[in-house]
Amino acid sequence: MRAEIIAVGSELLTPYRLDTNSLFLTGELNQVGVRVVHKAVVGDDPREMQTSFRHALERAELVISTGGLGPTDDDRTRETVAELLNRKLRCDEELLRKLQERFSRFGRPMPEINKRQAMVIEDATILPNPRGTAPGLWVEARGQIVILLPGVPHELHALFASEVKPRLEKLGIRERLFTRDLRISGLFESDVEQRVSPLYAQYPDTETTILATARGIELHPRIWSADPEHAEKVLNEMTERMALALGENLASTRGENMEELVAALLAENRATIAVAESCTGGMLAERITNVPGSSAYFLGGVVCYSNELKASLAGVPAELVREKGAVSLEVASALASGIRQRTGATLGLGVTGIAGPGGGTPEKPVGLVHIALASERGVREKLFQLPGDRDRIRQFAVLNALDMVRRHFRFPPPGRG
């Protein structure tokens, strides 16, 4: 089944707002076997809306809209679709009563304009909205389905789960989308592409999206199939061959991000961690503590921009900074061992570098970052020359620091067993 998603709302045609609901809807639709072939964004103008819905019905069996179901005059999705399908609008008495109840539960009389939200399209199924005043509508016409949903994300999510998904599942679509979510670190997007793209031709039924984010590179191979066994077999085989091509750079085949992997590895090894960071400015600690329950293994961290604080907070000898410079392997090491010692953590991570835009020199250009990991095995350091602007350099530095922790546990030096 082919679907089109229409996002209604003039604010979505400004430079400030994106239609993010369609990502949620696409994920949900794919799971019940529906492909999204087109997406549209249209303003509140009824004429524009009508052409959008008309065009959508020309190419898709299922049309889902979000937004434009509110109580104000700007909210015209109901009227537009009714007119397009030659249906009347009628006031649903039960819906009206429920709306009034909802308002009185919050101790307020229902404003007159909210009555519009009890207007429904003739012969449509009303989809009750547990989280808001705008109910959804499910309309079937000429063998096609049009579903009108509210635009407020948490209302949309709840309503989709309780009312839309069960109905779509009952359509009995046998085909499904099967996917994998691989996470890769330590390689650029083009490197990943080069290593895995030769596989694409060998699995012509599959499609793979490569995504370069601040959290690392993601690979999403996927296949549409009515045969789950076949689909899983293809994806398993493909994932195995991707794993061989990516080696130690493959961090997860289940979509875990780097801080989640590090969390699991620390817990598994009953280890704790503390950080001392300069150029990342707190982002490393922030990322680690982004995981709920991180207080079990994250002891704390220091952000030391000034050389004085490198000494007083992380115990980096002032003469070391003078001799080697604040951005040096030696200072990264001293940050890592210093914070490990001061906090008594199993692991200490130290980061120092030049995030820019200022502060670079020919010898130490913007993007140069030293990262060190101190453990009972001693200190390991790594030098990175990271691309991009200040934000990307900081993001990549954090990613690589966490990746050093992953490699520490996953790939211990030989001869320890």
Q: Map the footprint of its own copies across residues 278-337, applying CB under 8 A.
A: 280-290, 292-295, 298-306, 308-309, 312-313
Comparing CB distances to its own copies, the nearer of 266 and 303 is 303
Taking the CB of residue 133, how many other CB atoms lie within 10 A of it? 19
Comparing CB distances to its own copies, the nearer of 126 and 173 is 173
Comparing CB distances to its own copies, the nearer of 387 and 412 is 387
Of 36, 41, 38, residue with least CA distance to 15: 41
Q: Which two tokens stand for residue 81?
A: 């679709």
Residue with tokens 């808001």: 132
Find the binder of its own copies among 115, 195, 390, 392 (CB under 8 A).
Answer: 390
Element (H, E) at 413: none
Distance, CA of 300 to CA of 280 (rounded, Å): 15
Distance, CA of 384 to CA of 367 (rounded, Å): 8
Which alpha helices (H) appear in 147-273, and where do they start and end? 153-159, 165-169, 189-200, 228-246, 258-268
Phi, psi of 215 (to 5 degrees): -95, 5
Positions 77 through 116 that interact with its own copies (CB under 8 A): none
- Residue 391 C-beta: closest distance to its own copies, Å: 7
Positions 172 through 231 that interact with its own copies (CB under 8 A): 207, 209, 211, 218, 220, 222
Q: What is the Rg, in whole angstroms, of the alpha carbon atoms belonging to the chain?
A: 27
Comparing CB distances to its own copies, the nearer of 115 and 390 is 390
Burial group, residue 118, by CB count within 10 angstroms (0-12, 13-18, 19+): buried
Contact track, its own copies, 237-276, x by CB under 8 A: --------------------------------------x-
- Residue 390 C-beta: closest distance to its own copies, Å: 6
Stretch that binds its own copies, among 38-46, 115-123, 125-133, 241-249 (CB under 8 A): 38-46
- Residue 241 C-beta: closest distance to its own copies, Å: 21
- Residue 152 C-beta: closest distance to its own copies, Å: 11
Distance, CA of 322 to CA of 329 (rounded, Å): 13
Positions 138 through 177 that interact with its own copies (CB under 8 A): none
Find the binder of its own copies among 358, 378, 413, 415 (CB under 8 A).
Answer: 358
Does position 20 interact with its own copies (CB under 8 A)? The reply is: yes
